[in-house]
Chains A and B, each alone.
Chain A
Amino acid sequence: KAGVTQTPRYLIKTRGQQVTLSCSPISGHRSVSWYQQTPGQGLQFLFEYFSETQRNKGNFPGRFSGRQFSNSRSEMNVSTLELGDSALYLCASSSRGSEETQYFGPGTRLLVL
């Protein structure tokens, strides 16, 4: 089975712009979770989608949003980018939800200038 794929792998944006990241889960997995990884804050949970519904959300501002499509692919959007949004964004998928093992993708590295 192919693993979790994320596109693009690298992205450079400027402050104020918006960005959309994409995640394709492992085939058959219906849950997709997003995490932000920074040197200062470490790995932090953004949100989780299951069957096109956001089930849980971490402590991030409303500029961070996401959605999930009927094929379980997910997108994450960040509007009005700030310098502090520079991070590695990781997507993870699991079959039934986060109570199952989450398998991570390689991440998208976002640099905000």
Chain B
Amino acid sequence: AQSVTQPDIHITVSEGASLELRCNYSYGATPYLFWYVQSPGQGLQLLLKYFSGDTLVQGIKGFEAEFKRSQSSFNLRKPSVHWSDAAEYFCAVGAYSGGGADGLTFGKGTHLIIQP
């Protein structure tokens, strides 16, 4: 079965500083990887996804992520954070069996705090 680990429960970053959120996955085949963001009381908004091809993917709001197969990682980065980036960030992996999709498996999330 697939799994996702987000090692950092909370991260505090100063506004304007760079950001890296870590994500490690476990999956037997080539994974489909996603980063979602959730603001308080809201649903999940897709930031970016990796299906295949270029291992560096660009997303919305200035985010990017790099797929590293050798490290089973899909870390999210942003060069300069804004106060509006404060939210919960979830990494997810998609698994697909012969009978169809098994649903996304999510990490526990990383709570991002932005210091002024």
Q: Do A and B bind each other?
A: yes
Q: Is there contact, CB below 8 Å, between A106 and B106? A: no
Which residues on A sit within 8 Å (CB–CB) of B43?
Answer: 4, 90, 104-107
| B36 on the A face (CB < 8 A) | yes
Task: Determine the residue in chain B with the shortest Cβ distance to A43.
Answer: B106
Instruction: List 22 interface pairs A-B (beta carbons < 8 Å), by A numbering.
Output: A33-B103, A43-B104, A44-B106, A45-B104, A45-B105, A48-B100, A55-B100, A55-B101, A56-B100, A98-B100, A98-B104, A99-B32, A99-B94, A99-B101, A101-B46, A102-B46, A102-B104, A103-B46, A104-B36, A104-B46, A105-B43, A106-B42
Report which residue of B103, B104, B107 has the largest number of chain A beta carbons within 10 angstroms of its beta carbon. Answer: B103
Interface residues of B, CB < 8 Å — how many? 25
Secondary structure dominating the interface of B: strand
- Chain A nearest CB, measured from B6 CB (Å): 10
Q: Per a CB cutoff under 8 Å, which of A33, A43, A56, A106 touches B99?
A: A56
* Contact A101 B99, CB 8 Å, known A106-B42, A106-B43: no
Q: Per a CB cutoff under 8 Å, which of A90, A101, A106 touches B49?
A: A101
Which residues on A sit within 8 Å (CB–CB) of B42?
Answer: 106-107
| A28 on the B face (CB < 8 A) | no
Q: Is there contact, CB below 8 Å, between B109 and A50? A: no
* Assembly CA distance A60 to B96 (angstroms): 19
Using an 8 Å CB-CB cutoff, how does the interface string of B69-111 with A read, 1 for contact, 0 for none? 0000000000000000000001010101101111111111100
| A58 on the B face (CB < 8 A) | yes
